[in-house]
Amino acid sequence: MEQNETDDGYLVLLGFSDQPRLEFILFVVVLVSYLMTLVGNSAIILVSRLDSKLHTPMYFFLTNLSLLDLGFTTSTVPQLLWNLKGPAKTITWTGCAIQLYVSLSLGSTECVLLTIMAFDRYVAVCKPLNYTTIMHSSFCKALAGMAWLSGIGNSLIQVTITLRLPRCGHHHLDHFVCEVPAMVKLACIDTHANEVQLFVATLVLILIPMLLILVSYGLIVQAVVKLKSVQAWRKALGTCGSHLIVVSLFFGTSSVIYIKPQKYYGYVEGKFLTLFYGVVTPTLNPLIYTLRNKEVKGAMKRLFRRNEK
């Protein structure tokens, strides 16, 4: 009885423990990526808040995206670094539950937020004269609130159902983070109903947002084609290019994890995909938005000049 209680009190995150040399390399890569994520996203939040020229809907949503990336990586990366640095691979059951709730809620929120950002770009390109009327402050805050609430709601439902599955003493998780698809595989009962529920949630929060984003960009392309102007093409690309790259990186990897059943690909492949969208993508987001965005680069220069004085 005591042994069962001990088993239920922790999980062993196997991660890449069968490849110790790879673990050291991953530790360095993840640590550098995490530090870059903290600096890059914090810089975007700071600049967007301090520079009045960036007090627009686009940068309001970008600030929310940076907050999500900071929270998402912080919910998983410190534990991952701890596990990669030595033989101890355990996480408490409570810690795993918290990680599940936080990471899934923030990841789900990002799916909806990226869709809202695509709608914002559609209005900016296709309805420029009505942009300020449509995307007013109250409406933007309501959209952002909807994204956060939908993410939290999805997490409360999915994680609560997953944590209630009986594990029959199983506590070796073949992953480096607590993630719903991996947790479901620990169950010692038929999980078909859980897999259906996970697929429905994925349909709502990944496939539908992807479809809406494609529709938004389809309408943007249609509007720009009608103008038959090289300058209009360049302006549209500058306005939407960064967001489109971020969308491709995030949805391209997360959709494979949650849509394609794990039995159809190796565990190693699944781990690296999770590593990419959970660690690398939040690092790339601020780089993409700053390197491709003249307004952000200009705001940073103004901020540095102000500090020098």
Residue type, 51: D
Q: State residue 143's pLDDT score.
A: 96
Rounded to whole angstroms, the Cα distance separating 98 from 176 reads 15
Going from the C-alpha of 150 to that of each of 21, 107, 179, 247, 281, the distances in angstroms are: 40, 11, 18, 19, 22
Q: State residue 103's pLDDT score.
A: 92
Rounded to whole angstroms, the Cα distance separating 69 from 20 reads 28
Beta-bridge partners for 13: 173
Return the closest-CA partner of residue 283 out of 20, 44, 95, 23.
44
Other Cβ atoms less than 10 A from the Cβ of 227: the count is 12
Tens digits of pLDDT across the chain (309 residues): 333 333 457 788 887 777 778 888 889 999 999 999 999 899 889 888 887 778 889 889 999 999 999 999 999 999 889 888 877 788 888 888 999 999 999 999 999 999 999 999 899 888 888 999 999 999 999 999 999 999 999 999 989 988 888 877 677 887 888 888 888 888 888 777 777 777 787 778 888 888 899 898 888 888 877 776 666 677 666 667 777 888 888 887 777 777 665 554 446 677 788 888 888 888 888 887 775 566 666 666 676 666 555
Rounded to whole angstroms, the Cα distance separating 268 from 26 reads 13
Work out the angle between the directed axes of helices 93-126 and 57-85 (0-180°, nearest 10): 150
The half-sphere exposure of 205 on its side-chain side, counting CA atoms within 13 A, is: 29
Q: Specify the 3-state DSSP secondary structure of 230.
A: helix
Rounded to whole angstroms, the Cα distance separating 81 from 124 reads 41
Q: State residue 236's pLDDT score.
A: 67
* Inter-residue long-range contacts of 276-279, CB under 8 Å, 24+ positions, other chains counted: 277/249, 277/250, 277/253, 278/72, 278/73, 278/76, 278/77, 278/103, 278/177, 279/30, 279/33, 279/34, 279/37, 279/73, 279/76, 279/77, 279/80
b/e string for 166-179 if b means 16 or more Cβ within 10 A?
A: ebeeebebbbbbbb
Place of tokens 């595989």: 185
What is the chain's alpha carbon radius of gyration, rounded to the nearest angstrom? 21
Q: State residue 144's pLDDT score.
A: 95
Residue type, 46: L
CATH class for the region spanning 2-308: mainly alpha
Q: State residue 291's pLDDT score.
A: 59
